[in-house]
Amino acid sequence: MKIEKKLFVFIFSILLIGIVSATYCCQETVSGAYCQNVENITECKTGVKNQITGETYSNIQTFCQATSYCMLGTCINPEEGSCMPNVAQSVCEQKGGQWSAEQSDKLPQCKLGCCQMGNQGFLETQIGCNKIGEDYGITTKFNSAITDDLLCQLSVDSGEEGACVYTKDYIQSCERATNEECNKIKSNSGYSNVSFHLGYLCSATSLGSICGRTEKTECDSNYDVRFVDGCGNLANIYDSTKVNNENYWTYIQNPDCGDYKGNKNSATCGDCDYYSGSMCLDKGKEKVDYGDYICGDLDCVNYDGFYNGNGDYPRHGESWCASAGTPDTPGSSYFRLYCYNGEVNIEECDSTRQMICGQDFYEDTGYSRGSCQVKNRWEDCWKQNTSESCNDTELRDCQWMKYDGKDYVLSEEFGFVRRSDLEDYKDEEGICVPKYAPGFERDKDDKIIGGESCQMVNTVCQVKYERTPHNPFDNDWHCVDNCYCEKDSFKEEMNKICSSLGDCGIKKNYLDIFGKEQEVIKKE
């Protein structure tokens, strides 16, 4: 008995040593298997680099359990949305995963939490939740604090749409709806076999409903053009290249067609943008590949009136300023014009021109914006005695006007007087007048209201003459003072100044008709 026992142990030891001495660990075998124990090293890939890591494959004479590259751990694979335990490091990296020596229940991205997708909630890992969102093209939310399935379902707000499949009158039909809406259908005794499929379209062949794909289109509530299925349900945004695309008719998806500028009058894409100037309209005379609707152009392309914007024609939502007649004529008014849904509309500003139309340009959009709410700051123009203060646009709307009658200026105290009579007046040629001549209203007795500024330019220009001293009997008089007052240009300059202060002076009205012409200069 003793001899046999010793012989048994001895033989066993020899066999064990023989197995160890003939074992190699292949990081990858020539047949493509990873982390395999083999008896012959020729079965291992040698001198070949891993395409993922760029490292040369290792082959060691030992068991794979003892190597670092075949050590087991957790493989996090975003492409698969999985956290696989007990995976060798080299195997994980070869498949594009991220390997960790930690167990999966210790890794945050591998712990179960509440995955919210549309109006559904279910327990999933964070990496799995992200993958589901990518597959369906739907934004998902992950809440690691909720680990109870019921609480997860209750935490999700309804609103995301899908396919509500049901049987009615022995026919399996479908409606595009939210889960909440589908539950209402489910509670109706006239419907049976009701089921909700988040993110699906009723035209999905896997649902087995009668609502197949079509070539028809409709306008949705966002003024986009959409395909419609055989039951009249709205499908995805119209894209003529996907009229027969199985995936596009299976899942609710965001559009990826067009020029991303509203696709105005596009025959192929229905992704309209009202802000950019397009909306779903009947195609009319325009051509589309399928259906009867198009992203109609809302720009005013056929408008041929006055326009001072940046483009060749006004665009939808753009506004600009104009005036009836020249801005300083009696009865003229500023107007704001704006393009809306393909038509140019007109808004009159203040008829007295106390409020005027102001226009700005926005470089980011290239649009112009006009407003009738701009105050005409003209009241203190005549008080400014230098061009610098006159042209200060931060404080007033004035302009410096040069003229031949250099001796006369506007004075706050004396009105239109000789320059030499004002000691503090700076020697600068010109006069400060409103850039936008104000208008005046009339009361019930037809008297002008606010026309005091016209009186300021009423003046008497005394021209002094002298006779030739050496010949008292000679009638040869010659001008020695204010001689320019006799020139026709003086009358024109004075009237120009006068008319700039309001509805003053001799001028035509906005109908290009002269009013009552008064003799403002008398020669005596």
Chain segment 342-392, per-residue pLDDT in tens: 899 998 887 788 878 888 876 666 778 888 877 888 878 877 878 888 889
- Determine the average pLDDT of the residues in 150-176: 83
pLDDT confidence band for 270 (50 / 70 / 90): very high
Q: For residue range 386-421, list pLDDT tens digits in order.
A: 888 888 988 888 988 876 555 555 555 555 555 555
Q: How far apart are CA 319 and CA 345, in angstroms?
A: 9
User: What confidence tens digit (pLDDT) does each residue in 203-220 have?
Assistant: 999 999 999 999 999 999
Q: How many CA atoms lie within 13 A of 385 on its CB side?
A: 15
> 439 CB contacts (<8 Å, ≥6 apart)?
330, 331, 332, 333, 351, 352, 353, 354, 502, 503
Contact 377, 397 (CB under 8 A): yes
DSSP assignment of 461-473 equals: -PPEEEE-TT-TT
**Backbone φ and ψ of 466, nearest 5°:** -135, 145
Is 90 exceeded by the pLDDT of residue 250? yes
pLDDT tens for 59-75 read 777 777 677 777 778 88
Looking at the DSSP bridge assignments, the partners of residue 279 are 296
Of 119-128, 352-361, 419-428, 457-466, give the range with the top mean pLDDT.
352-361
* 24-28 vs 59-60, strand pairing mode: antiparallel
Q: Is 153 helix (H, G, I), strand (E, B) or coil?
A: helix
Considering only residues 244 and 274, tell me which one the structure prediction assigns the higher pLDDT. 244
Task: Evaluate if residue 55 carries a pLDDT over 90.
Answer: no
Distance CA 296, CA 282 (A): 8
Could you tell me the pLDDT band of residue 166, with boundaries at 50, 70 and 90? very high
Q: Is the entire prediction scored with pTM above 0.85?
A: no
Q: Rounded distance, CA 482 to CA 495, Å? A: 17
Helix, strand, coil % in the chain, rounded to nearest 5: 20, 30, 50
CB 303 within 8 A of CB 227: no
* 31 Cβ contact list (under 8 Å, min separation 6): 43
Average pLDDT over the chain, rounded to whole? 78
Select, from the ranges 15-19, 69-73, 377-381, 422-426, the one with the highest average predicted confidence (pLDDT). 377-381
Q: What is the pLDDT of residue 162?
A: 94
Q: What percent of the chain shows pLDDT beyond 90? A: 24
Query: Residue 516: its pLDDT value, please?
Result: 60
Domain boundary assignment for the chain: 19-107, 111-154, 161-297, 319-375, 393-500
pLDDT of residue 19 exceeding 50:
no
Burial of 277 (0-12, 13-18, 19+ CB in 10 A): buried
405: its two tokens: 């009658």
CB 178 within 8 A of CB 161: yes
Look at residue 260 in the predicted model and tell me its pLDDT.
Answer: 80
Q: Which residue has the higher pLDDT, 238 or 142?
A: 238
The CB-side HSE value for 518 (13 A sphere, CA atoms) comes to 6
CB 62 within 8 A of CB 73: no
Confidence bin at 53 (pLDDT 50/70/90): low
* DSSP letter assigned to residue 218: E
Mean pLDDT throughout 304-325? 85
Contact 339, 299 (CB under 8 A): yes
Assign 246 a pLDDT band (cuts: 50, 70, 90): very high
Q: How far is CA 45 from CA 25, 28, 57, 72, 354, in A?
A: 11, 6, 7, 21, 90
DSSP line for 449-508: ES-HHHHHT----PPEEEE-TT-TT---EEEEESGGGGSHHHHHHHHHHHHHTSS-SS-B
Residue whose token pair is 């009105």: 415
